[in-house]
Amino acid sequence: MKSELWWRDAAIYQVYPRSFRDSNGDGEGDLQGVIEKLPYLQELGIDAIWLSPFYKSPNKDGGYDVSDPRDVDPRFGTVLDAKALIDEAHRLGIKFIADIVPNHFSADHIWFKAALASPQGSHERSRFHFREGKPDGTPPNNWNSIFGGPAWTQVEDGQWYLHLFDSSQPDLNWENPEVMADFEKTLRFWLDLGVDGFRIDVAHGCAKEEILVDLPDPAGLTNALRLDYLDMSKEVRAGYLSNIPFFDREGVHEIYREWRKILDSYSGDRMSVAEAWVYPSSRGARYVRQDELHQIFNFDFLMIEWDAQVMADAIKKTLAELKEVGAPATWVLCNHDSSRVVSRLGSAEKGRALAMLTHSLPGGIYIYQGEELGLPNADLPDSARQDPAFFRSGGKDKGRDMCRVPIPWEAASENYGYSTGKPWLPQPTDWQRYAADAQKGDPAGSLELYRKSLALRHSHPALGGEGEITWIDSAPGTLHFTREPGLEVLVNATPAPVEIKVSGKEILLTSSGEPELNDGVLIIPADTTVWLQR
Ligand code: GLC
């Protein structure tokens, strides 16, 4: 059964507007470009779009460095364009989720400029975290920025300010009530304009504790926080991540309880989704208690190995943890910060099979632009990179530009129909086959698979919703479960075809390859997911 509240089982599509579609030829995507592509998204079958930040910003961190959260950056358009986009999305039956960045402002925000122009101890400085350095001239503590290098930068009069990310992103001091009041204004501004919800950036980061205390091993923690740091064992990683003085502190929950009241005071089921990296994952349920946020991104599948047991364990754990607080699960395969799924798993087939698996699970799904096209990461020369994570790590961390390359819309057009100007990141010259128009109507392509699976999520009574899943024992390397009424889901995560006994009578959808169904036995190709109808 479908959920009564739209967001609980929605398919939400992430638009990274800078790379989506450029309507005015300046080489950067914009809001009019998103409006142009809404019919494509409607046809794809998504329920909502989440737009990464389009607010005023010097763009040092792809717009996550906001200098005016209640205005649109001219590169993207105007507030009127934002209103036109929200209205047009609504007209097409698509909800609109905005991104909100509460952990930090841009150093170009008027508050930070005022803080720099004001004396030590002033209330202008108390909106951020300014501190004296240590007597030996080093920063107030040994914390590192997530992007590398120290988390502190010194200003002219000798004080230091805290920035968990780039030095252009000073962290806000949420103990100052002015910060809360200002964010309330921002929430209301966008809610009044018609947004249906917010994605909350670094939702686990706003409250800091023990700000003057050194960490025992800051370099180890920095490595543990890296998404691509796969050499560290799970246990060692968990040790580093379990108790960090700047993440997942009790104070963040006070903020979200206030925000929930604001969201609830508006009509139309407004929602919120937390980007909160918490350890162990069971702590995530605390963010989606009844009086806090609505959803939390479940990032298990952003990093998961292509291993049936590991995937089954992750699904069971997630569903059990969230059930305790009555929140729906979410499933995320990629986003603007991580490797594209087909590159991470090393094959298009595995990417498609994983997508179909998550599309069959209870709760909501998030799809990152280009995921539906099966886009891989782009190979970029270092000279093209723009991500501060690349620069702050001295080039050790290649950063996130590889998954932010502009979308190929048309195989035969200049810059694949993304822009008539020079794209802000170069697009690979061999992406013709990924272009949306080249894939249209190709039953073997990724785009058609996403379309069909999203259509079935709407039409099939067992898909979407939050109903139970019933596991069936199956051969090693495979997953087998049912969702009622009448749907049977099978995954072969091994490199060879497997025979599985099934009760389903008809193949509804296959992620790739050609399964055979004879007398209750399914021969399922390698790295494939199949949906069967009983
Ligand atoms: C979040 C965003 C990321 C950004 C960071 C700092 O993790 O997803 O893109 O760099 O916050 O705002």
Question: Domain range holding 372?
Answer: 6-103+194-207+245-454
Percentage with pLDDT > 70 across the chain? 99
pLDDT of 60 strictly over 90: yes
**Residues 256-268: tens digit of each pLDDT:** 999 999 999 999 9
Annotated active-site residue 275? The verdict is yes
In terms of domains, do 198 and 329 share one? yes
pLDDT surpasses 80 at 24: yes
Residue closest via CA to ligand 1's atom 4 equals 64
- 243 falls in which pLDDT band (50, 70, 90)? confident
Assess whether the C-beta atom of 105 lies below 6 angstroms from ligand 1. no
Q: For residue 467, is pLDDT > 90?
A: no
Confidence of residue 148 (pLDDT cuts 50, 70, 90): confident
Specify the ligand 1 atom closest to the Cα of 400. 9
Q: Please report the pLDDT score of residue 393 as a whole number.
A: 84
Number of domains in the chain: 2
- Please state the rounded mean pLDDT for residues 478-504: 97
Tens digits of per-residue pLDDT, 208-219? 998 888 999 998
14 versus 223: the higher-pLDDT residue is: 14
Among 404, 433, 454, identify where a domain stops: 454
Q: Please check whether residues 422 and 520 belong to one and the same domain.
A: no
Residues 336 and 303 in one domain: yes
Domain-located, residue 11: yes
Q: 47, 196, 275, 488: which one is catalytic?
A: 275
Please give the number of the atom of ligand 1 that sits closest to the Cα of 337: 9
Q: Is there a contact between 299 and 287 (Cβ–Cβ < 8 Å)? A: no
How far is residue 467's CA from residue 430's CA, in Å, rounded to a whole number? 42
Does residue 325 sit in the same domain as residue 427? yes
CATH number at residue 498: 2.60.40.1180
Please give the pLDDT value at position 229.
59
- Confidence class of residue 451 from pLDDT cuts 50, 70 and 90? very high
Q: Which of 14-18, 216-220, 264-268, 409-413 has the lowest mean pLDDT?
A: 216-220
Specify whether 294 is located in the same domain as 198: yes
Please, what is the average pLDDT of the chain?
A: 96
Task: Look at residue 338 and give its three-state secondary structure.
Answer: coil
Q: Is residue 172 part of a domain?
A: no
Last residue of a domain, one of 426, 454, 482: 454
Q: Is residue 175 part of a domain?
A: no
Cβ of 331 below 6 Å from ligand 1: no
Q: Confirm or reject: Cβ of 248 under 6 Å from ligand 1.
A: no
pLDDT at 233 > cutoff 90 = no
Residues 202 and 323 in one domain: yes
- Per-residue pLDDT band at 228 (split at 50, 70, 90): low
Ligand 1 mutation target, pool 64, 198, 336, most atoms within 8 A of CB: 64
Kindly report the protein residue whose alpha carbon is nearest to atom 12 of ligand 1: 64
Whose tokens are 């969201």? That residue is: 263
Q: What is the pLDDT of residues 385-398, one digit of tens each?
A: 999 999 988 888 89
Do 329 and 384 share a domain, yes or no? yes
The answer, yes or no, to whether any atom of ligand 1 lies below 6 A from the CB of 101, is yes
Active-site residue among 81, 166, 171, 201?
Answer: 201
Residue 368 belongs to some domain of the structure: yes
Q: What was the pLDDT predicted at 98?
A: 98
**Lowest-confidence pick of 118-122, 162-166, 216-220, 428-432:** 216-220
> CB-based contacts of 275: which residues, under 8 Å, 6+ apart?
199, 200, 201, 202, 203, 297
Last residue of a domain, one of 454, 486, 517: 454
The ligand 1 atom nearest the CA atom of 389: 10
Looking at the structure, tell me whether residues 338 and 445 fall in a common domain.
Answer: yes
Q: In this predicted structure, what is the pLDDT of residue 230?
A: 59
Q: Residues near 415 by Cβ (< 8 Å), separated by ≥ 6?
A: 406, 421, 422, 423, 427
Res. 491 pLDDT band, cuts 50 70 90: very high
Residue 350 and residue 426 in one domain: yes
**Average pLDDT value for residue range 497-514:** 96
Residue 460 lies inside a defined structural domain of this protein: no
When pLDDT is cut at 50, 70 and 90, the band that residue 404 belongs to is very high
Whether residue 276 is found in the same domain as residue 336: yes
Judgement on whether residues 478 and 508 belong to the same structural domain of the protein: yes
Q: Are residues 280 and 363 in the same domain?
A: yes
Domain membership of residue 75 (yes or no) is yes
Q: Annotate 223-255 with b (16+ C-beta within 10 A) or e (fewer).
A: bbbbbeeeeeeeeebebbbeebbbbbbeebbeb
In a domain, 33, yes or no: yes
Residue 131 inside a domain? The answer is no
Single-letter code of the amino acid located at 453: S
156 is a catalytic site residue: no
Of 54, 60, 61, residue with least CA distance to 14: 54
pLDDT at 223: 86
pLDDT of residue 237: 87
Mean pLDDT for 232-252 is 90
